[in-house]
Amino acid sequence: MLNPEICQKARLSRDPRFDGKFFTAVKTTGIYCRPICPATTPKEENVTYFPSAIEAANAGYRPCLRCRPDSAPGSPAWKGVNTTLDRAIRLIGEGILQNDSLQLLAERLGISDRYLRQLFKKHLGISPKAYALYQQCLFAKQLLHQTNLPITQVALASGFNSVRRFNDCFQSQLSLTPSQIRKSEATKSKSLQLQLSYRPPYDWLHMHNFFMARAISNLEWCDEQSYGRTFEWLGCIGSFTAQHVKHENRFDVAIELDDVTHLKAIVNNIRRLLDLDVDIQAVEQDLQQCFADATLIKTGLRLPGTWSMFEAGIRAILGQQISVVAARNLVTTLVAELGQPIGTNQLFPLPQSIAISKLNFLKIPASRKQTLRNLAQHYMSHDAPNDPQQWLTLKGIGPWTVDYAQLRGLSDPDIYLGGDLGVKKAIGKSAHDVNPDLASPWRSYLTLQLWNQL
């Protein structure tokens, strides 16, 4: 339950650390806002607090056009209350209900569709379909604010099959029309500019250094304030560059795509790759109990992601028992030889390309080449290849490879790389005993903290 006194203090201070943790609804205007909204501060007796934007909308409030609640970092108070609900929300965010049925979603979760509806009704007060529709409308609102996409392209990118249905749903869900958001005629452009916010602190220097040390030529690019790369998503090919804007607690992201159909899922993956949605202060409070000395905690460390689980697996295999530099050189060679060209850059090789190649250009043992082909063939022959536990049946893949791939390819927050040489060195240098069990469910962040001490 939200504490009104705490929410009031956060609202009056406009502290960005509370952005996304709750929303402020004003009874006299019928509008809900982020706690950092620059509008004139309303009187407390006219204010109601909600833990999520969907609950404010469900109560009849419409989103503010100044602070744009759709741009708030995603950390609603109910997240994590129920593991199944959390997984359902993540899958809906990836667009599963745009193409598949509620029954299929329930099957993915291992529950009945009736129980799934009960979960959403209990925690959010609405159905899964209504939640998915509202998220589509919020994403469309963000595109209308921040891009030059024509209305028809916004509708398509948001998961709507027709402009008429898009207009009807947009008005019914947000009490606004697309034309009220888009006041000027848009022009066609394949380059999209979006703003992706986060709650501070965010140690960009650490993230930058991590990416820079592992950046693959023609696949990734990294400079003092930005990171970018090429990508493929369900047949959609493109690239993005994320520019860090520290004083605004956000990234300005430029995306180029040949098809906007899967734009929402792509944006969600960029958020995961940059770890923008974690409540890092809460994580660090839990981690502190693992260390007796507060100075051992480096604040703002985020999980540096990799675009896909397959890429993370291939990079992990090539990085077995060698240095970061040596692993980067091997991946660079692999991309140069098998990556599909995209302009002057290249995509990460597809499973089909690796599976049929002899990989003679890689100076590694024949057994490791076969392990690369085994993983590629696994992706070609399985319906759910991203399940890392299935990888353990493949010769040449052990627990460290699976754990590292999960940490970077899925951004799993609870992976402790106890067998990693760097982690062992950090623990050896530490004057304190480290109990990783105390860090659960944030053991991935404990791993980062230990790496940072080297």
Catalytic positions:
33, 420
Whether 157 contacts 263, CB under 8 Å? yes
Q: In what order do the strands lie in the sheet with 236-245?
A: 191-197, 250-257, 236-245, 226-233, 220-223
Torsion of CA 219, 221, 227, 231, to 10 degrees: -20
Backbone angles phi, psi at 339, to 5 degrees: -70, 140
What does DSSP say about strands 31-33 and 62-63: parallel, antiparallel, or unpaired? Answer: parallel
Taking the mean position of all CA atoms in its chain, how far away is CA 85?
Answer: 17
| Residues sharing a CB contact under 8 Å with residue 343, sequence separation 6 or more, in sequence order | none
N-to-C CA span, the chain: 41
Residue 284 CA to residue 156 CA, distance in Å, equals: 40
DSSP for 387-437, written as a single string: -HHHHTTSTT--HHHHHHHIIIII--TT---TT-HHHHHHHHH-SS---GG
Residue 96 CA to residue 311 CA, distance in Å, equals: 22
AA letter at 184: S
